[in-house]
């Protein structure tokens, strides 16, 4: 079956899914996006994702293309038409089509596209718990509004590519003062040797990850101690455990950073417990 996308009011086959060359998302990355996991046909954390989407649009002064109710319908319809059980939705909203000029156009209609792809969450969570991943530290050269989920992702792409060329799965971004901020497409956590979970506060210009927040709630339900603060690259390399969170990666252990083992170089008990608990959390909503 051909994949189906939603493009500005129409459901079309993927090979016919196009946007105008004067769309400001294409010309200026003048847009926002969200990625939502689908578990057993249900959208995981849909409302928090929509909350963040609306906030991003507000911060960039992009008018919502529709109200939430029809948007919910479209997202679920794309899942239904593609017969997705477990998968990942990508949705993007831009300021729309206008003559190329840097200032906001006087008149434009926001553009919206939605796609979905299949994912095997069970396999990825099993792999995470058994193997973990390697990461590479990279300088954080992103713009000053990382709290907005903007489509302007070139610095993230460069960091991710540098990590892949170093044989790593993810880039751990480090600011000019030597503190870890987040990953190129993830939030970063560490577990101290006394068992405390530590991650950067979203007040520090960190993207408020939806999976980050859900994993935090899961950890709190397990009575794990959590601290939101700065931590240095040196501190995390000396941690008992390290892991990343994202909609597609759950709580994946980072077992090697810059060629150095984190802990004993295998997925630790805290991350394993969070993977199991987060899987149960996803299933409960499915």
Catalytic amino acids? 149
Where do the DSSP E strands lie in 84-127? 87-94, 111-118
Sorted by sequence, the CB contacts under 8 Å of residue 165 that are 6+ apart come out as: none
d(CA 123, CA 169): 17
Instruction: Please name which of 185, 180, 174, 251 lies closest in space to residue 216, comparing C-alpha atoms.
Output: 251
**How far from 188 is each of 6, 68, 166, 251, CA to CA, in Å?**
32, 30, 19, 9
d(CA 91, CA 113): 6
d(CA 97, CA 112): 11
Helix (H) or strand (E) holding 270: helix 269-284
């Amino acid at each position: 079956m051909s994949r189906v996308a939603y493009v500005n009011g129409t459901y079309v086959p993927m090979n016919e899914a196009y946007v105008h060359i004067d769309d400001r998302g294409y010309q200026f990355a003048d847009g926002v996006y969200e990625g939502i996991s689908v578990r057993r046909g249900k959208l995981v954390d849909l409302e928090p994702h929509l909350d963040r989407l609306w906030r991003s649009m507000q911060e960039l002064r992009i008018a919502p293309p529709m109200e939430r109710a029809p948007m919910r319908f479209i997202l679920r319809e794309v899942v239904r038409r593609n017969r997705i059980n477990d998968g990942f939705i990508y949705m993007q909203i831009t300021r729309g089509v206008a003559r190329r000029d840097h200032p906001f156009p006087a008149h434009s209609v926001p553009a919206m596209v939605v796609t979905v792809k299949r994912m095997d969450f069970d396999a990825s969570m099993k792999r995470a718990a058994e193997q973990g991943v390697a990461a590479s530290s990279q300088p954080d050269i992103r713009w000053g509004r990382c709290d907005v989920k903007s489509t302007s992702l070139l610095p993230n792409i460069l960091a991710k590519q540098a990590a892949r060329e170093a044989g790593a799965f993810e880039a751990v971004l480090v600011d000019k003062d030597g503190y870890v901020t987040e990953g190129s497409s993830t939030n970063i956590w560490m577990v101290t040797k006394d068992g405390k979970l530590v991650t950067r506060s979203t007040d520090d210009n960190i993207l408020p990850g939806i999976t980050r927040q859900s994993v935090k709630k899961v950890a709190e339900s397990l009575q794990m101690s959590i601290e939101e603060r700065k931590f240095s690259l040196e501190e995390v390399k000396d941690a008992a455990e390290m892991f990343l969170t994202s909609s597609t990666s759950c709580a994946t252990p980072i077992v090697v950073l810059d060629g150095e083992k984190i802990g004993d170089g295998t997925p630790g008990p805290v991350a394993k417990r969070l993977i199991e608990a987060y899987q149960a959390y996803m299933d409960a909503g499915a």
